[in-house]
A and B are shown apart, each in its own frame.
Chain A
Amino acid sequence: MFNPQEYVHKINNEEHGAARLAHITEAIREADNAGQAYWRLYFRYEYIEESVIYGDNFKGLLCFPEYLKIFDEHPEQEDEMSQDMMWAFKWLLGDVDDYYQISLEQVENYFSEFKQRCQKYGFSLRTYYMKQTSFWLEVDLPRALENFEKFKKFSRNRNSDCIACEINFEMEVLLRQHKEKEALSVAEPILTHRKSCAEIPHVTYATLAEYYFSEGNFTEAEYYADLCKNLIFGKPEFLKELGMLMEIYSRINPPEAWNLLKYHVNFFMKCNNPKMKMTFARGAFRVMEVLQQETEFVHSSRMNVLPIKPSEDGWRSEEMKQYFYEQAKEIAEKLDQRNQIPHYVPLLEKDFPEPLSEEKLQEQQHSSVHGLIRKERASFAFFLKNSVSKEEICSRLEKQNISVQDKESYIFFTLEQDSKMMEMAMFKSEGKPDLQENPLLNAPPEMIEEAQQCPEVYLFTTEISGEPLKAYHALMRFVSELFPELCYMLSLSAVKLYPAAMVRYAGKYANFLSPQQLFNLYFSGKEEPDEIMGVTVGLSVFGMRELEFVGAKQDTFQQFAKIIDDVAAYCVANNALPDEGQTIIPCYDIAETESDEDVPIFWENPEKVLKHFPEESIFQQRPEDCVTGILNLHDILPDMKQPKIPNSTEQSRKIHLAEETFPLALEAVKHVKVVVQIAIELDESLWGEYDYYNELLWAKLNPDGKTAVLEQEAETLPNLKIGDTVEVDLENLIDWRLVLSEEEIFSPQELWLLDNEEKGDLS
């Protein structure tokens, strides 16, 4: 007996691709035998979806006419199934372009059928015009734009592609018109990771890479190609994009292009989608064209899938080039013939684009460095105790196997961090940054004076890549090795001064730096009217928007400051890129209700806020030029009270630091008092009674380093008393302190203070 539930489970527990398609085929057969319309349609839809999303859409295309027929035979299923059917139809329209076997007449019939069904089921024609635009975009731009204008007139409907796909589509249309700035502006939600789906940003990156490549801006092309490659490597459904990348890399990074070719050639052989095959073959042809100039033969067992016999020396490059060229050309001719417009053949015959001149490149980069949120370069100053020559610096770098380019006064070099490259530029400063004049630098006067007296200052700029805390850790580790004579490090971007001992400590322990140490807060305001604003300083070097508040008063601004500080710290710790309309963080509203309800904090356009909270709104007093504010779903500050920003990442970093540095505490226990904080689990029977599961207790560590004597009474554990001995290990360790004297108590976070000549180097 047909058991649909069993098939649903079987299918969904199978890997995507061929294996899942096989299970669905079986389910379709059984559903047909059982004659159950719902399941006949359901499993066919699954089949089409699987083929389109995780394959080359060939099987889905073949299945669709049958699916449509069954759908039409069962009007009783319309309510439940029309949505699925229209999705499947939309996918079909998105793919007809790929198959030269589908004549223009058939394509037009499909479009007209789809249009009728849109009207029947009450969908607007937005998707219809979108698919028309896409169909003509590559081969007939005026016709595509005509449809694009109509597309814009209709609002989104329930048959629309997801927002990310629509944004990507609009970006593509703008790029075809060479409206780069507008295209980047439209694509901003994708480039800032606010919008994504199964195909986006992969396809967006590929499109941008291809655009910049064709414009000769190879730097940008490579940037987007690298991003795309990481997302699509090993995925057959992105064969077309892999072909696009191969074409780009064959010009700017041929080994990478060859790598892509050999790892994906088996997908190419299995693919049934002509356009995907053609694009891949074109890329492969470009790769072989370049490799042919370098080597007569290429070697890779992965090429065994090709219908070309290798000689003893490997595959002949010329022969491979010819093979892929012919493959691409055959399909290109057929597609051009079908479209009645020569486009793909000329594209294949076209030469590589020439790179832009330096001047042109700089001009372009000014407007388009990696989308519109520009990541500022981070700048640092290093104050050294002794003079160090530029030559000496270069020699130290080379000893660390870092290749150095010396361009007159600048030293350029590249540092690898978590397999990402950080480009560095360093030079010896003629003067010294004036620390005393900077109102943001909240450092003790003696530190500032000591820094000012240093005889040598090197300035240094780089782009921070990856997670901010990790990047700073890597940077500080590098700096403490490069400059043994370091006295202070100053972040010019965040206006923060770090003593050398702190830099060394942060370089050694990855969990030491807290997010707050990477940025600063700046406040300004006036007494009459009583108004204070605050802004973060230094987030832009991580590619984040600076956060700001306005309209606070003297008696409330600390509350605002705390929130903005917590939110910024969250962003830094989690590498979040907040922007208008985006939820930054769900936090807890601990207003009078003490509810645990999730309350997202996000940046919102103040106009919208005013609309919903017309009275007593703080935003009524906002200056006109202010664009962001904190909006709470329920109310607006200051009525909101203090939201609780989750900081579990911070807590766990603190515990990890305590664990990492515990050997130092064990060493110190021989000379000074060490107390440890340990977690003791509550008895299960008490779990409901308290909000927590562990009680944290302080105890004096014994010289054996494994036990400690309790110095604190337990609230929930009646059997434990002060003076009892408890076990200590890394499993239950939460924190520790070195007690040198009553005034001098050091935590893992402060241990760097001991790392100097006067107190002895504990590390």
Chain B
Amino acid sequence: MEDFQQILRTFSEFERGDSRLKRIREAIVLADQNNQLLWQFRFRYEYIEESVFCGDRYCAMIMFPEMLSLYEKNTSLQEDAYISHNLLFCFKWIVEAAPEFPNISREEIESYFRLFRKMLLQQGKSLSIFYMKRCLFYMQADPALAAVDFYRFRDAPLDDISDGKAFYQDQVAKYYLSIGEEEKALAAAEPIFTGKLTANSMPQITYGDFCEYYLNQKNYSEAMRYANMIEPKILNDPYYLDLLSVLLSLYSVTDVPHGMELFEKHKVFYENSRNPWLKMLFAIGAYHVLHSAGDERQEKLFQEVSEAVEKFDTRNGTTYYAKKLYRFNDEKEGIFNV
């Protein structure tokens, strides 16, 4: 029989991202062939984790239904607290990732959330993470429901399924910024800015929240202050296409040559990404900078991005992303209307 423990150890020998995903995929096939239930589950978990943290979440979305079905069909997995805990972790990543794919309808997303809530409750977990992730979705789809979820998430206790405290604070800051409560947002972000709370993608994500907020406020000097702190931390990392988008939009106003340089350097990630949400966001920023530079590629890009924006906004029933795409319209009337 295969030594699955040994196979698990070999994963770290592969470069993070696609090559490691390929290796884990092979391990899944082996575990399936040998009918090793625990390893079938464990490798799928590894696969989803890799896709979420070192990929574009596309593979995770494909794999999760398989993992869920494996879990639901096998009571031995359901009775195992450790396995159930791991499933909840994956579920947490998936409910966050699902809205990034416009072909997943709002009803499907909401039913994912309902199932996630049910499983959290079944395992006696706090609903904090459920409300946090749903709030994130409703911020683009339904601000009133986002408000409901925000307060429930803020008041619910954190537990071992919750994101770390840094993410919790970031989400609080993000929400306050979305409703224009700058002071409250700054207070929430204070432990992140002072380094008291940290995580892999912190503080750059929080800087990104503020950078975008000031960009929307047209306070470009403040936005640039954050941009200068973000940029060195996210260069050449496909994980941060969304933050790059904010920088590109900002540079389209403040420093077009630098924006173009950034665009050229990262367009390969855009081209290779299979995550429609990241692609759309990057394209919004890229379009702004190409437009300001008078680059001829802008028209083709606008075609792509406006289609993507329409898909997302139609699915959500809002104009959340259209506002991002046309964020400079007031200032330079007509310029961005093609």
Contact = CB atoms under 8 A, between A and B. Distances in A.
A158 B122 contact: yes
Q: Which of A3, A83, A593, A693 has the most CB of B within 10 A?
A: A83
B233 A688 contact: yes
Contact of B160 (A5, A595, A600, A684): A600
A611 B5 CA distance: 14
A4 B122 contact: no
A44 to B, nearest CB: 13
Contacts of B160: 583, 600
A598 interface: yes
A592 B16 CA distance: 13
B147 A5 contact: yes
Contacts of A687: 229, 232
A83 B160 CA distance: 22
Contacts of A685: 228
B82 A608 contact: yes
Q: Which of B114, B121, B164, B231 has the most CB of A within 10 A?
A: B121
A163 B124 contact: yes
B229 A596 contact: no
Contacts of B147: 4-5, 8-9, 12
Nearest to B8: A635
Contact of A689 (B114, B148, B232): B232
B200 A8 contact: no
Given A163-B124, A616-B5, A684-B229, A158 B199 contact: no
B25 to A, nearest CB: 21
B143 A12 contact: no
Interface string B216-256: 00000000000011011100000000000000000000000
B179 interface: yes
A596 B200 contact: yes
A252 to B, nearest CB: 34
B279 interface: no
A596 B118 CA distance: 31
Interface in A25-49: 42
Nearest to B80: A611
A163 B157 CA distance: 13
Nearest to A196: B157
B198 A160 contact: no
A688 B148 contact: no
Contacts of B198: 596
Contacts of A158: 118, 121-122
Interface string A560-602: 0000000000000000000000010010000011011110100
B148 A156 contact: no
A141 B143 CA distance: 50
Given A79-B114, A157-B121, A608-B82, 18 more contacts: A3-B144, A5-B144, A8-B148, A12-B147, A80-B114, A83-B121, A156-B124, A158-B121, A162-B124, A163-B124, A583-B160, A597-B200, A612-B82, A684-B228, A687-B229, A687-B232, A688-B231, A688-B233
A495 to B, nearest CB: 36
A5 B117 contact: no
Q: Which of A5, A83, A595, A689 has the most CB of B within 10 A?
A: A5
A685 B81 CA distance: 48
Contact of A596 (B5, B12, B199): B199
Interface in B192-225: 195, 198-200
B151 interface: yes
Interface in B41-89: 80-82
Interface residues on A, range: 35 or more
A162 B164 CA distance: 22
A595 B200 contact: yes
Interface in A610-630: 611-612, 615-616
Contacts of B12: 592-593
A596 B147 CA distance: 32
Contacts of B179: 9
Interface of B: 5, 12, 80-82, 114, 117-118, 121-122, 124, 143-144, 147-148, 151, 154, 157, 160, 164, 179, 195, 198-200, 228-229, 231-233
A399 to B, nearest CB: 45
B129 to A, nearest CB: 14
Contacts of A5: 143-144, 147
13 contacts: A4-B147, A5-B143, A5-B147, A12-B154, A80-B114, A83-B117, A157-B122, A158-B122, A596-B199, A598-B199, A684-B228, A688-B231, A688-B233
A244 to B, nearest CB: 26
Interface in A209-243: none
For the complex of A and B, 8 pairs with smallest distance between CB atoms: A688-B232, A158-B121, A8-B147, A5-B144, A12-B151, A4-B144, A5-B147, A615-B5
Interface in A161-178: 162-163
Nearest to A80: B114
Interface of A: 3-5, 8-9, 12, 42, 79-80, 83, 156-158, 160, 162-163, 197, 583, 586, 592-593, 595-598, 600, 608, 611-612, 615-616, 684-685, 687-689, 693
B164 A598 contact: yes
A9 B198 CA distance: 29
Contacts of A615: 5
B228 A8 contact: no
A693 B5 contact: no
A608 B98 CA distance: 33
A704 B228 CA distance: 40
Contacts of B143: 5
A586 B198 CA distance: 12
Q: Which of B5, B80, B117, B124 has the most CB of A within 10 A?
A: B124
B148 A42 contact: yes
Contacts of A608: 81-82
B207 to A, nearest CB: 11
Nearest to B121: A158
B14 to A, nearest CB: 13
B328 to A, nearest CB: 26
B184 to A, nearest CB: 10
Contacts of A616: 5
Contact of B124 (A160, A598, A612): A160
Contacts of A583: 160
Q: Which of B122, B154, B231 has the most CB of A within 10 A?
A: B122
A162 B231 CA distance: 44
A614 B82 CA distance: 14
A18 to B, nearest CB: 19
A525 to B, nearest CB: 27
Given A4-B144, A612-B82, A688 B200 contact: no
Contacts of A162: 124
A596 B148 CA distance: 33
Nearest to B203: A687
Contacts of B82: 608, 611-612
Q: Which of A158, A612, A616 has the most CB of B within 10 A?
A: A158
A3 B143 CA distance: 11
A394 B237 CA distance: 72
A28 to B, nearest CB: 15
Nearest to B232: A688
B229 A688 contact: yes
Contacts of A598: 164, 199
B22 to A, nearest CB: 19
Contact of A8 (B117, B118, B121, B151): B151
A22 to B, nearest CB: 17
B171 to A, nearest CB: 15
A156 B81 CA distance: 14
A615 B39 CA distance: 13
A597 B122 CA distance: 27
Contacts of A163: 124
A68 B317 CA distance: 30
B43 to A, nearest CB: 14
Contacts of B81: 608
A612 B148 CA distance: 39
A611 B143 CA distance: 45
Contact of B195 (A160, A612, A689, A693): A693
